[in-house]
Copies of this chain bind each other. A is one copy, B any other.
Amino acid sequence: MQEKATHHLLINYPFTADNTLVVVTGFFQQHGFHILTIEQQISPEEPVAFMRIELQSSSLQSSNEEALEQQFEDQVATRYKMKWALQRLNKPKNIAIFVSKHDHVLLDLLKRRKQQRLNANILCVISNHPDLRHEVEEIAGLPFHQVPVNKISKFTHEQEIADLLKKNKPELIVLARYMQVLSADFVRQYQNKIINIHHSFLPAFAGANPYQQAFHRGVKLIGATAHYVTSELDQGPIIEQDAIRVSHRYSTADLKDIGSDLECNVLSRAVNWHLEDRVIVHDNKTTIFYS
């Protein structure tokens, strides 16, 4: 007997008020799908529509998925100039995690995985330092690859990582306080597929040492920002941000301490939204279909 297959469909297209939505839902009805939830929004300042549909079918077999996608492309998407993606719900995405020495964000992701609150299959953890090997290999039982930066050129380092990824084929890369800047070439291969956590309320305190910058500026809130990585440092589309109250009594070390929880919370929300196909990127901004 066949199980019911649930899918997410994410679409954005130039909005011309000609009921494209009826065309899309009609297409899937004809192919035996039921629509569970749907949301179409219009950008507040330009005629672009963003749509997310949860679909269920009791007849679709995996083997037919490709054919269905081709039909949708030919009959609907091309005509309406759509960018779209169809994802099978609850199928864990394969991810790779990059770290350096800071352990708190990685440990938080591993904790959530253990608590079944991170619907992902962690292929491997890659680091330029050996420090977190024990945590990853012994405690979490996951592959750990150390790719040092110092002894080899920056280019070779990235090449070595690229090779590892070619084998692993991650659908998402999470930079869990990975302290290296990735090259434009590397980033281009994983467009909107690399999520970084920056430990400030961007665009404030971009670049290095944001907690120290925050201390010196005397801000009364500190923040954290999860964003897709683009070739411009700390300039990619923001997925999630949050902030927390601090005071003049906090040293830079205190800011790091209180900020570390914030980083974990912000990153895990962003990663989960990506894993649940809730994010559309358009024009360096994200549309999030919140749960």
**A binding-site residues for B, Cβ under 8 Å:** 17-19, 21-22, 25-26, 29, 34-45, 56, 103-104, 107, 111, 115, 117, 139, 201-205, 215, 217-221, 223, 237-243, 247-252, 254, 257, 260-261, 265, 284-288, 290-291
Q: How far is the CA of A41 from the CA of B96 in the complex (A)?
A: 32
Chain B residues contacting A240 (CB-CB under 8 Å) are: 220
Contact residues in B for A40 (Cβ distance below 8 Å): 35-39
* Listed residue (A203, A220, A239, A241) with the most chain B CB atoms within 10 angstroms of its CB: A220
Q: Are A203 and B217 in contact (CB under 8 A)?
A: yes
Most buried by B among A36, A242, A248: A248
Residue from the list B18, B56, B204 in contact with A201, Cβ < 8 A: B204
Report whether A44 and B249 are in contact in the complex, using a CB–CB cutoff of 8 Å: yes
Specify which chain B residues have a CB less than 8 angstroms from the CB of A19 in the assembled complex: 25, 29, 34-35
Copies of this chain in its oligomeric complex: 4
A265-B8 Cα distance, complex, nearest whole Å: 33
- Measured CB to CB, the closest approach of chain B to A54, in angstroms, equals 9
In Å, the complex CA distance between A254 and B272 comes to 13
Q: With a CB–CB cut-off of 8 A, which chain B residues contact A284? A: 218
Decide: A249 and B45 in contact? CB cutoff 8 A: no
Q: Which residues of B contact A205 (CB under 8 A)?
A: 203
- How many whole Å from A101's CB to the nearest CB in chain B? 13
A81 to chain B minimum Cβ distance, whole angstroms, is 18
Asked, given contacts A29-B19, A37-B40, whether A242 binds B221 with beta carbons under 8 Å apart, the answer is: yes
Which chain B positions have C-beta within 8 A of A36?
17, 40, 42
**Are A248 and B35 also in contact (CB < 8 A) when A19-B29, A221-B243 are?**
no
* CB <8 Å contact, B241 and A17: no
Q: Which of A19, A240, A254 has the most CB of B within 10 A?
A: A19
